[in-house]
Amino acid sequence: MIPDRAGQLLIVLLVEALVGYPEIFYRRIRHPVVWIGRLIAELERRWNVGNPGARRLAGCGLLLVLMSIAGAAGWAIERMASGNLFGIIVMLLIATTAFAQRSLREHVIAVLRPLQAGDLTAARAAVARIVGRDTQELDAEGVSTAAIESLAESFCDGVVAPAFWFLVAGLPGLFICKAINTADSMVGHMDDRYRAFGWASARADDLVNLVPARIAALLICLAGSGGVRVTLRDAHKHASPNAGWPEAAMAGVLARQLGGPVSYDGELTPRPTFGDGARPDVASLRSALRVYWRACIALWLAAGGIAWLQ
């Protein structure tokens, strides 16, 4: 018996949480996100030229190319797998590559371990792999804050959003979601080089994450048994229409204050704060990991519940 899409999603989530993306595959063929990234980098190098209007139009072209390739690949794989149990299994294994439950947890644990051992230098190096801010001068609270914020926001981008779009539009929706998210992370910035060229990718990423961000916040609040008041009060403070939701929810359930000014390329950038109480410490990061994993389990239960109802 071939499971319906919600059942397929549950299988994908469980397999990815248990196995992740095997290191042997990464060493030999890299990861699909790396393939997308190489294409984005090449097209950006060739197309991000001219006046701002031309750059914005070229950025729209980049987005259309990525969405077309990703959607067509997803459709072709689904078509070949249709009605074939072995094909469905292969398709679901391919789908796991778009999720980051396990790798996200591993990256945050890599920050937590040296923090617990008092090795701030190693903790700074580990958190630098998952955040874009300057990390060289961060103290233990700053490292914990950066890791918790990345964990909360990436729960939406790397777990909930792919799950939502797979449930809504199957493998094409999943692949398009991942392509847009990758484009936004690479070119959706506000500096002089990318402001015009990355405009379309940034706006598309806002749209793709609009519903998943609210779902992610709800799952975090359920996993932490609280945080709703802080989420509703503070989520709108973020410059992004979406990132504030999971971050405010995590701040609420931890009863800690996230956000605040950070440094990018040596320049201090003001940011609003989320939540109340003291700044996060190492214990807060441990708690955030527990909340994250429970939120993942809540997502599994939701997928299983939808599959059972259908």
- For residue 245, give its domain range: 5-309
Domain count, the chain: 1
Query: Over 90: is that where the pLDDT of 163 sits?
Result: yes
- Give residue-wise pLDDT tens across range 16-59: 999 988 777 777 778 889 999 999 999 999 999 999 999 999 99
Residue 306 has a pLDDT of 95
Q: Which of 47, 86, 79, 73 is nearest to 198 (CA)?
A: 47
218 exposure class (CB count in 10 Å sphere: 0-12, 13-18, 19+): buried
CA distance 69 to 180: 12
Question: What pTM did the predictor assign?
Answer: 0.94
**Angle, nearest 10°, between helix axes 5-19 and 161-187?**
60
Residue 118 is predicted with a pLDDT of 95
Distance separating alpha carbons of residues 74 and 294, to the nearest angstrom: 30
Average pLDDT rounded to a whole number, residues 1-19? 92
Paired with 73 in beta bridges are none
Residues 165, 155, 193: CA angle, nearest 5 degrees:
85
Residue-wise pLDDT tens digits, 194-248: 999 999 999 999 999 999 999 999 999 999 988 999 999 999 999 899 999 999 9
